[in-house]
Amino acid sequence: MNKRIITKSVFKDIAIVAAGVIIIWIGLQVVFGTENPFYVVASGSMLPELHVYDVLIVQGHVLFEDVQIGDIIVFDRPSGHDRVIVHRVVSITDDDPRTLRTKGDNNVASIPGTDFPITENEYIGKVQFQIPQIGYVTQILKPPTNYILIVLVIGVMIVKEIIKRKKTQEITSTEPLKANDSDAIEGYPDLETLEKDSVYSKHSDSRISDNEPIEFSQESKDDEKKSLDTKD
């Protein structure tokens, strides 16, 4: 039963974390106007402006018509749309339809099929912010490292839940004993071995039955006689 409760609690925590991540991700997509607001620089074609493993935050709300010469943009490579490129706009080659040509700052010239022709169909967004070298984290979290970390996180959550429930059980077991709780009294067998007060009762190894007359010790009788003499 406890294992089921712990499992439910762990799955509940995971669901809450997952829901939080999804909500944050959707919020970022809305704010930046693109399906993926974050890109990691994978080559040195934009040196010294952008370095490998820099993380770029892309603003998709900047319209393609508003892109100017000198802007760094993110776009799908025109030849095949099989790679995402981050280069600087160097010229506007056509106005109808609007067509751009880009070039890597560290490249000698624009590369046909990669840097041009860039139309609105290839355009993803304009680079808004740059976070240096954070992209190293994405390299560290590649499989199988990311799976190991996920297992470790889930394991920590399970251990924490077990410790939490163990502490709760210990606190419950140390609650004060209620005088009218017969079940609780039965939990203390040592009560039968406690030393009894001979002034008030006669002790015997056997229990006194309901029909057996109660006998008082001689000392108790003397005390009762003295009490009566005092009253007279």
Q: What's the pLDDT score for residue 70?
A: 96
In 3-state terms the chain splits into helix, strand, coil percentages (rounded to 5) of 40, 20, 40
Task: Give the start-to-end residue ranges of the domains of the chain.
Answer: 2-32+141-162, 38-134
Tens of pLDDT, residues 123-166: 999 999 998 988 887 777 766 766 677 677 777 777 777 787 77
- Using an 8 Å Cβ cutoff, are 130 and 47 in contact? no
Please compute the mean of the pLDDT values over residues 104-133 and round it to a whole number. Answer: 94
Handedness of CA 199, 204, 209, 215 (dihedral sign): negative
For the ranges 86-90, 168-172, 196-200, the maximum mean pLDDT occurs at 86-90
Query: 123-134 b/e with 16+ CB inside 10 Å = b?
Result: bbbbbeeeeeee
What is residue 20's three-state secondary structure?
Answer: helix
Return the ∠ at Cα 209 (arms to 208 and 212), rounded to 5°.
Answer: 85
**pLDDT higher at 182 or 23:** 23
Q: What CATH topology corresponds to 38-134?
A: Umud Fragment, subunit A (2.10.109)
**pLDDT > 90? residue 168:** no
Q: What is the pTM assigned to this prediction?
A: 0.59
